[in-house]
Amino acid sequence: MIATEIANYTKEERKNYILKLINLHTRVSFDALAVQLFVSEDTIRRDINELESDSLVIKVKGGAMTKSYHHSSSSETYANEHKQIIARKTISLVKDGMILLIGGGTTIREFIKMIPDELNLTIFTVNVLSAVELLDKPNIKTIMIGGYISPYSQMTISGDVYAQLAHIKADLLILGTNALDIDGGFSDSDWETVQVKKAMLQASTKSAILTISEKLNTIQKMKIANLSEVDYVVTEVDITHEKLQSYLKAVPSLTFI
């Protein structure tokens, strides 16, 4: 899509584009939207206010969040069928007796739902909603890493979180992402969230990043890690899909599932 086309959007076209970006990336900041749409932040705030009035998004500090990610929402999850495929693929990485470290988000939520009841696992998480979902699994020991809860990411952040993560070495980290790119690695737009995810990588022997293919070739403001620092990327598409070929060539150490 060319810049002049976006710049000439009508108000309704702009709002639809904003809604798509928020659903795709979970959270988007006012300033990032203003840059992408060639309008002022005040215009974006008015659009977000209208989208929130229509119960389509949730305003958070500095931006907006997809409604399906919120704890009180019954909204249909964006690209849910694709996220269920990713969840099923991720289950293949999990073995009985493992220690996992997991984040949060709608794809992680689908993964938790699909964990077989007979698996005995210890799962550490920094996400409150993930911890609640895990309570339905009879043979999982769930350990919540405590700290201040970010209203942006719904993850625990603060010095206590880093201290606890420093004493963990999980077999596998399972983490969602807001954006993923060959050069930009996987990234987010919130400083505190990025720092916690970096610490989670350090606290794990292996790592799997879960993402719908629509997020490929997208970048947010702050890099978490290069793709060479990740072991697996799990998407809904097959490894032969054209979207993955440039990644396979650029990062031969990375395994796509």
The residue extents of the domains of the chain are 3-69, 80-256
Mean predicted confidence (pLDDT) in 140-146: 95
Task: Report the SS3 class of residue 37.
Answer: helix
Mean predicted confidence (pLDDT) in 112-130: 95
- Whether the per-residue pLDDT at 22 is higher than 80: the answer is yes
- State residue 175's pLDDT score: 96
Percentage of the chain beyond pLDDT 70 is: 95
For 44, the token pair is 């974006």
- State residue 26's pLDDT score: 76
- State residue 157's pLDDT score: 87
Res. 33 pLDDT band, cuts 50 70 90 = confident
CA angle (175, 179, 181) in 5-degree steps: 110
Mean predicted confidence (pLDDT) in 25-41: 86
- CATH T-level fold of 80-256: Rossmann fold (3.40.50)
Mean pLDDT for all residues in the chain:
90
- State residue 2's pLDDT score: 59
- State residue 114's pLDDT score: 96
Whether residue 146 contacts residue 121, with contact meaning beta carbons closer than 8 Å, is answered with no
Residue 252: count of CB within 10 angstroms of its CB? 9
Predicted confidence (pLDDT) per residue in 182-224, tens digit: 999 999 888 899 999 999 999 999 999 999 999 999 998 899 9
Rounded CA-CA distance 47/11 in Å is 8
- State residue 158's pLDDT score: 86
- CATH T-level fold of 3-69: Arc Repressor Mutant, subunit A (1.10.10)
Predicted confidence (pLDDT) per residue in 49-92, tens digit: 998 888 888 888 788 888 776 554 445 777 899 999 999 999 99
Mean predicted confidence (pLDDT) in 152-169: 90
Mean pLDDT comparison of 22-31, 92-101, 159-168, highest-scoring range: 92-101
